[in-house]
């Protein structure tokens, strides 16, 4: 009998390890401001799940708000709990990515992402495991410095609870913003590119006035 109990416990332990290993890995890509097509801005249509008070979310869509560097320069935060249906209804689709806007203090060393998880119905469904060092990409407040891709909720029931979990070390400035971006959403120009375009249009207008 004792052998049977031990054998059952061993089998359950193996199943537990197998279940934990089922989390789908998420891909992290650093944003290069010099390359078009990979920058997103946090707006009402790209709501924060974890962020600082500057996040712009639709009415009734909560997020975990923090400001300033965490005590000990380490934070371990979870978002509010949503439902799968709440997110898919908001986006009109099941696949999305997470934009990370890093708040980084110059000269303070790289900040480090240790872990990012998407937890559905109590299980880690998608995750990114670091440690991965970040430095500012110099693309303005509210713009993505990195993207986490590969999250798709199509296999999950709409009533299931879902939340997000981020662990960060060497936090040097204000909170990072983690915001959700539907896969079909178009990127935006990098702020420096917008400034350059605006300067060019001003130059064209001045030239046209001179010709007149």
pLDDT digits (tens, 9 = 90+) for 140-199: 678 999 999 999 999 999 999 999 999 999 888 888 999 999 999 999 876 654 444 444
Question: Mean pLDDT across the chain, nearest whole number?
Answer: 81
How far is residue 19's CA from residue 124's CA, in Å, rounded to a whole number? 9
Contacts of 114 (CB under 8 A, 6+ apart): 129, 130, 131, 167, 168, 169
Confidence of residue 109 (pLDDT cuts 50, 70, 90): confident
Chain segment 2-53, per-residue pLDDT in tens: 454 345 444 444 444 444 448 999 999 998 777 767 899 999 999 999 999 9
Characterize 73-92 residue by residue with b for buried, 16 or more Cβ atoms within 10 angstroms of its Cβ, and e for exposed: eebebebeebbbeebbebbe
Confidence (pLDDT) at 211: 54
Whether pLDDT at 139 is above 70: no
Specify the pLDDT at position 209: 53
For 73-96, the pLDDT digits (tens) are 889 999 999 999 999 999 999 999
- For the segment 62-81, the average pLDDT, to the nearest whole number, is 87
Domain ranges of the chain: 23-200
If phi > 0 it is left, if psi is from -120 to 50 it is alpha, else beta; for residue 132 that is beta
* pLDDT at residue 1 is higher than 80: no
pLDDT computed for residue 107 by the predictor: 77
105: Cα separation from own chain's centroid: 20
């Amino acid at each position: 009998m004792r052998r049977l109990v031990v054998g059952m416990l061993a089998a359950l332990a193996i199943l537990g390890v197998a279940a934990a290993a089922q989390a789908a890995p998420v891909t992290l890509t650093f944003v290069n401001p010099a390359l078009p097509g990979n920058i997103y801005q946090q707006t009402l249509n790209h709501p924060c799940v974890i962020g600082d008070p500057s996040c712009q979310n639709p009415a009734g869509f909560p997020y975990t708000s923090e400001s300033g560097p965490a005590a000990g320069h380490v934070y371990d935060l979870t978002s509010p709990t949503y439902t799968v249906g709440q997110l898919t209804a908001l986006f009109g689709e099941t696949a999305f990515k997470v934009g990370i806007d890093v708040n980084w203090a110059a000269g303070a060393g790289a900040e480090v992402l240790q872990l990012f998880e998407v937890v559905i119905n109590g299980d880690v469904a998608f995750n990114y495991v670091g440690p991965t060092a970040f430095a500012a990409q110099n693309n303005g407040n509210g713009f993505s410095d990195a993207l986490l891709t590969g999250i798709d909720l199509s296999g999950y029931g709409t009533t299931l609870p879902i939340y997000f979990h981020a662990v960060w070390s060497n936090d040097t400035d204000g909170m990072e913003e983690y915001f959700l971006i539907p896969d079909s959403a178009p990127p935006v120009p990098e702020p420096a590119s917008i400034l350059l375009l605006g300067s060019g249009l001003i130059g064209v207008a001045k030239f046209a006035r001179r010709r007149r």
